[in-house]
Chains A and B, each alone.
Chain A
């Protein structure tokens, strides 16, 4: 304390400090440092809908039946208006000036009390329009969850237990672990202890080297830090509009993360900034110098070498800028070699990409692919020299920790942005280039920024819930912690081994 405080600026005096002076001065400096400290937090605020999703239920009320009931009850309970006017809904579906004659289905939560109480003339039906959202992977359930998270910015909390299938494919087949008696846990979730969600982007040497004078002689860490382990990726398909670029720019700045944007868009809109990651084709590598404020610039494969590693492009880019150069690698055949070559050439950020259903070209799911990439780098003794981003199939808050457990440093978000902004998709959402969608016609910048901020706040808080349950104090420690996950298939093999008819978790 004495040394660091003196270094920070202990006031010079005419003579040696007394103990009291030293204590007072140390306290002053400490207070000053503490006052500058800001606990990272994402400010969320509920926002209205711009283009609401179809509500969950349709409510059909037979008007004749209702009229008969009212007539009957008016006679039976003559004068007892509390009884006559009582309606079987606490959510207001049958409230309003004309009561149940014009029900308000958007308020219905599907408790079915009305339908059970009055089976003769009330029906509650699942809204088929809701089921048309998304596709087979990004389901209406994912989309409605994202919509709620982006609207409220809170962790969705509900009663009753899990309602879905047992285990399942993809991320559903992975469970996260917990511990019964660990800290920081809930205290961390509520901010009484710190659970860090910051991640370092860049490269750390596997060890430090010193010369004979004790000074550093080898490479030193080249990193910068973002506050959440997710970044915005290039908008897929036809979604890359200037309005959207502006929204992800301001949101990423606000929450201290990154946004990958097409370099041409960045240049055209003048968005060059530390929070923006311009993405260039390899053939345009020399253009990196046009983005002097970028901390990270990504190169993607050239059209003529769609899946190849282009060392020349990387060299050109590295020469032309001080920014880190990252490489986007698709999970196509031979990706392992390309990643290895890239890392050997000095690439510090690898951005791995599966399709939007989270599958590589051989149909392997991303949890396995991320794990393979992570382990490959560990086997090569290089893991800390590289930051791994990964994207594809991340459409739920639980997917973030599961992807990080699988080996990533940070995940990249694509489709969640569309649905957070109440956009609509049309057709399959599997191939990035083929994604067709529409955003609300009048995309208000402030509204959209708050929606995205809310989504990030909600997902970060849910990440804290997962980390807290494990007793893990920072998300960096979660990377590649396979022991913090359980694979349903493996658990089934262990539990059901020997039971007649059980032939393995894939059966």
Chain B
């Protein structure tokens, strides 16, 4: 009877927790398939990639996530978006002046520059993982990222979906996000975190608040968020307790009261006056100004919001950096850039434009198999990502196993750190912090005739 039921279930497409055998089969097929593509054993899929994430960028990320090395025959540096990072390059020194490629090239980044009594945090690489909520992604994906963050003495943000209990295992490397819906924001989750991140806005949907469509707001997700299962969750915008810089300051005071040691990150989008927003946040008490540009990733956003509202991160970084310099507070605050930062080259360019470090989101997902098909919001099936990334579907989420995911990200970060050091040594810099604001080390690649 059980066999017959399996046949009926499979034929009817009934969703059940997969058996160990099915998990084993599927994960191996997927992992082998990714490797065969990344290693060039099969041609590049014709439908893979877009202007921002080209087929080669996706495949090279898969390659790095598998091997921990940068590929020889794939462009792992830039996309083809015809602007921003994709038109910037470095002005390397003559080869005779390059430094040795060595672990002595320092990639550490301090996050608290205010000199106050709060946590003195320094991460080993100038980037950490951006917020992806439980509900937008599975616990397996969250834990993969968090375990990798621990491996790299870095961080991963919870996003706005609460704090799954599993995360307490790695709480030293988890940022608790406080966003406008306050999902999962409790004293316990605030006290658990070394860094608290206020999400005022998100680059992919500036001014609009979070979206979790009904199909993905299942029982477990709703339980953690304190909401009704299978009801779409559109977070308000803005914080309905914050309508001024004074309110913003009081907002930060609230966190300080609950967790006096936590350092505070303020995540904002990139409107025209982002420079003034940054200064206001600094004076309100922020340690980190997190700028999220208009080309950033998301689990779900109105298409019109992507790209059309607010500016790309490449254009916001110099604006904020220069303004904070002018105000004399640049060295008191850490600028973190995200929203379209894909590669080690992008990270180095962002730093050269004036950021201290970056936040990665989509890159992590691509490392674990994402093809950027844009069905994270649920897609026609309503079940979310068929690769098991942006889903809490009881079957699909099993396609990403935590240890595998963490290892993929570890490898990817290894390759990215290698490349970052490679860039630094070719610029004659022994420390990533020396790169900040060095636009003199960049060059703009103009269009060639006929382009």
Q: What residues of chain A have their CB less than 8 Å away from a CB belonging to chain B?
A: 57, 73, 77, 79-83, 85-86, 88-92, 95, 107, 109-113, 115-119, 123-126, 145, 155-168, 175-183, 185-187, 189-190, 397-398, 402, 462, 465-466, 468-471, 483, 486, 488, 491-492, 494-496, 498-503, 507
Contacts and interface: CB of A to CB of B under 8 A. Distances in A.
B207 A112 contact: no
- Which of A82, A180, A469, A507 is most buried by chain B, counting CB atoms within 10 A of its CB? A180
Contacts of A500: 91, 440, 442-444
A415 B100 CA distance: 60
Interface in B351-406: 353, 362, 369-377, 379-381, 383, 385-387, 390, 396
Contacts of B309: 175-178, 466, 469
Given A107-B380, A466-B304, A116 B30 contact: yes
B203 to A, nearest CB: 8
Nearest to A462: B304
B179 interface: no
Interface stretch (B41-49, B107-115, B116-124, B169-177): B41-49
Interface residues of B, number: 119
22 contacts: A81-B10, A85-B11, A90-B396, A91-B386, A112-B47, A119-B33, A156-B302, A156-B303, A159-B300, A159-B301, A160-B373, A165-B82, A167-B312, A175-B309, A182-B238, A185-B207, A469-B208, A469-B237, A492-B315, A494-B319, A495-B316, A501-B446
B375 A109 contact: yes
> What are the 8 closest A-B residue pairs judged by CB atoms, nearest first?
A159-B376, A166-B83, A469-B207, A85-B10, A178-B207, A163-B50, A502-B444, A116-B33
Contacts of B308: 175-176, 398, 402, 466
B340 A181 contact: no
A163 B372 contact: yes
A161 B271 contact: no
A145 B303 contact: yes
Contacts of B237: 185-186, 468-469
A156 B211 CA distance: 12
Contacts of B81: 164-166
A186 B30 contact: no
Contacts of A113: 30, 371, 386-387
Contacts of A117: 26, 29-30, 33
B374 A160 contact: yes
Given A85-B11, A165-B83, 10 more contacts: A83-B21, A159-B375, A163-B52, A163-B372, A166-B295, A177-B271, A462-B302, A469-B237, A470-B207, A495-B319
B163 interface: no
A81 B305 contact: no
Nearest to B19: A82
B444 A499 contact: yes
Interface stretch (B140-148, B153-161, B242-250, B252-260): B242-250
Contacts of A183: 238, 243
Given A112-B45, A161-B362, A178-B206, A88 B29 contact: yes
Interface stretch (B1-9, B184-192, B219-227, B327-335): B1-9
Given A165-B83, A178-B309, A111 B371 contact: yes
A178 B305 CA distance: 11
B108 to A, nearest CB: 27
A178 B310 contact: yes
B213 to A, nearest CB: 7
Contacts of A502: 444, 446
Nearest to B22: A83
A163 B383 contact: no
Contact of A124 (B45, B207, B353): B45
Contacts of B386: 88-91, 111, 113
- Which of A82, A116, A186, A499 is most buried by chain B, counting CB atoms within 10 A of its CB? A116
Given A107-B380, A501-B444, A502-B444, A86 B26 contact: yes
A92 to B, nearest CB: 7
B269 A91 contact: no
A483 B304 CA distance: 19
B215 to A, nearest CB: 12
Given A111-B387, A112-B48, A486-B311, A465 B208 contact: yes
A166 B238 contact: no
- Which of A157, A183, A187 is most buried by chain B, counting CB atoms within 10 A of its CB? A157
